A and B are shown apart, each in its own frame.
Chain A
Amino acid sequence: MPHPTWLAYGFAVLMVLISVYCIGRLVLAQHWGRSNHFDVNVSHVLMGAAMVGMLVPRWKVLPDGLWELVFGVLALYFFATSTRFVMGHGFRGTDNGHFHHLSHNLIHMVMSCAMLYMYWLGMPITAATNSSTSMSGPPAGVGDPSLTLFLIAVLLASAVWQLDSISRFSPRSLALSAVGGDASHHTGAGDDPPWLAPRLEISCHIAMCLTMGYMLVLMV
């Protein structure tokens, strides 16, 4: 079914920007000695680059088989970190950030699996032609719609959950945390260096969830 190519290009450009930004984060965090979610940013770079290739095939940087390998490894990595975290801290933590920490690993595992799922079903895409609408269209009806919609629901729930928590990192909240003496991690008041631009990292995650949700919904 025809689909606007400008939309695919729009999401592709967004993914390019996020990938470039996340590469910048990895470099700058190292350079400035700031804390950073290394694994998350690496996965955002990889997912962003892969989705660009899905959205606009001529911007593909690696063959599909290699991407499948990459996301298989990523999914295993996040599964291992989630398991290690649960074994170390249990399902129910002692602090309020426990669920956020666990969900951070789990959602990236789900995202890696979603990427694998799209590659396995031969997710090509929409912006292959020069007209305003693609004539080839997305592979609607492929895969199991229940699983596809489950993945979409998980991704969107994660986006909403993360957006709700973004206000924790506003300057005022961080100042209040510092007053309470329990935010050394964010403010740099303790041993840990402060986290590099947490709100931007969360925003990148939200944008990735939305873009992945869009790509998955084309398959329903």
Chain B
Amino acid sequence: MKYEGLSAVDTATSLDETTGETSGVAHWRPPDGRRMLQLALAAVWLLDGVLQLQPFFFTSGPNGLSAMLKGAAAGNPSFVARSITWNASIVGHHAEVTNAAFAFIQILLGFGIAWRASLKPALVISIVWSLGVWWFGEGLGGVFNGNGSPLAGSPGAVLFYALLAVLLWPPRRPDLRGPLVAAGRVGIVAAKVVWVVVWVGMGVLALIGSARSPEGVHDLIDGLKAGQPGWLAALDRHAESLVAHRGLTVALVFAALCVVVALSAFLSVRATRAGIVLAVLAAAAIWVVGQNFGLIFVGGATDPNSGPLLILLALAYWPVLPPPVTPTEVRTVPSPLAVTFGRS
């Protein structure tokens, strides 16, 4: 049996696209770059929801989710720490119910983003949920307690979910292709500001966090090894020996790399692409060595950490050259200013 009829839908719906504002049930077309990134984000949410169903999280007490949440309070300002402890105590008293709710909310977010009819509400809810988890679950990503290192996931993996939800928001007119997927709705200036803030921010965190101490990175990797599959533990051992006593050097190199990546967004298309490749490679390296895939192989992980989200973020900034304009299309092409700022 063949799945047919796609091109027909495309042809028929192109007439309706001038109305814009659709993520639409009736406007099905094969996924483009933006949609593929949205689907990847949906898959990560779904994975988070399924990971949350692990038995570990349904237990209360020192070995359960509440203890994990309580641990995020350490070192934070008192009002933040109090709110985290308060939330953790609620979770501790109702571990089963709260964890099941957490899991199903994340599963629903994944399904909501994947189903075109519910895309926008799901993205909005995902932003709210992400910010809540960033506060109560990740203790603001270690930004305020001095222990945050981008190698370990700081400023918080879940913050990138919210950021991606904003940047991947559907554009007003789906037929208007901006120069970047990330600039679709927020405009290219705002998108580039976000890019700079993310990468410069991570560079700064690398320099001020505890990982800059001589054994900081070594200890970070050492703490990940237990229970990992053999190949990953072996990789960790090699990485450890490489960075032993070189925490400050690693921090400086990483900070310099972050600045290069941040600045690449303002250079030529070729340089921007090189910067994005560098960002993807850096994110992949962080994910494997610094985060051990978010510790998902050893159980008890709620998400795959920031590595894959950083990769998605970088891909959203891949410059897209506009298709060549034929003479008959000239009149319908929007002004360069409108394209630049992602507005119709």
Contacts and interface: CB of A to CB of B under 8 A. Distances in A.
Interface string A132-157: 11000110110011100100110011
A217 interface: yes
Contact of B12 (A152, A180, A186): A180
B58 A133 contact: yes
B58 A4 contact: yes
A145 B228 CA distance: 9
Given A141-B299, A152-B47, A176-B8, A218 B55 contact: yes
Contact of B1 (A37, A161, A163, A176): A37
A156 B3 CA distance: 21
Interface string B212-229: 000000000000000001
Interface in A88-146: 95-97, 100-101, 104, 132-133, 137-138, 140-141, 144-146
A84 B114 CA distance: 30
B58 A2 contact: yes
The range of chain B's interface size is: 35 or more
Contact of B47 (A156, A166, A183): A156
A159 interface: yes
Given A160-B42, A173-B28, A180 B11 contact: yes
A159 to B, nearest CB: 7
Contacts of A83: none
Interface residues of A, number: 59
B25 A170 contact: yes
Given A97-B6, A145-B229, A168-B6, A173 B114 contact: no
A183 B8 CA distance: 7
B55 A2 contact: yes
Given A157-B43, A163-B111, A140 B299 contact: yes
B229 A179 contact: no
Interface string B15-58: 00000000011101011000100010011001100110111101
Interface string A160-174: 110111111010111
Interface string B244-286: 0000000000000000000000000000000000000000000
A182 B100 contact: no
B contacts with A: majority SS = helix
Interface centre among B2, B4, B7, B25 (most CB of A within 10 A): B4
Contact of B9 (A166, A168, A213): A168
A173 B10 CA distance: 10
B74 interface: no
B5 A177 contact: yes
Contacts of A218: 53-55
Contacts of A71: none
Interface of B: 1-9, 11-13, 24-26, 28, 30-31, 35, 39, 42-43, 46-47, 50-51, 53-56, 58-59, 96, 100, 107, 110-111, 114-117, 229, 231, 296-299
Given A145-B229, A195-B1, A220-B54, 15 more contacts: A7-B100, A97-B3, A97-B4, A101-B2, A140-B299, A160-B114, A164-B35, A165-B3, A166-B115, A170-B25, A176-B12, A176-B26, A180-B8, A182-B7, A217-B51
30 contacts: A2-B58, A3-B55, A4-B58, A4-B96, A100-B3, A101-B2, A140-B299, A141-B299, A146-B229, A146-B297, A149-B297, A156-B46, A163-B42, A163-B115, A164-B35, A164-B115, A165-B3, A165-B28, A167-B25, A167-B116, A172-B26, A180-B9, A182-B4, A184-B4, A185-B4, A195-B1, A206-B111, A217-B53, A217-B54, A220-B296
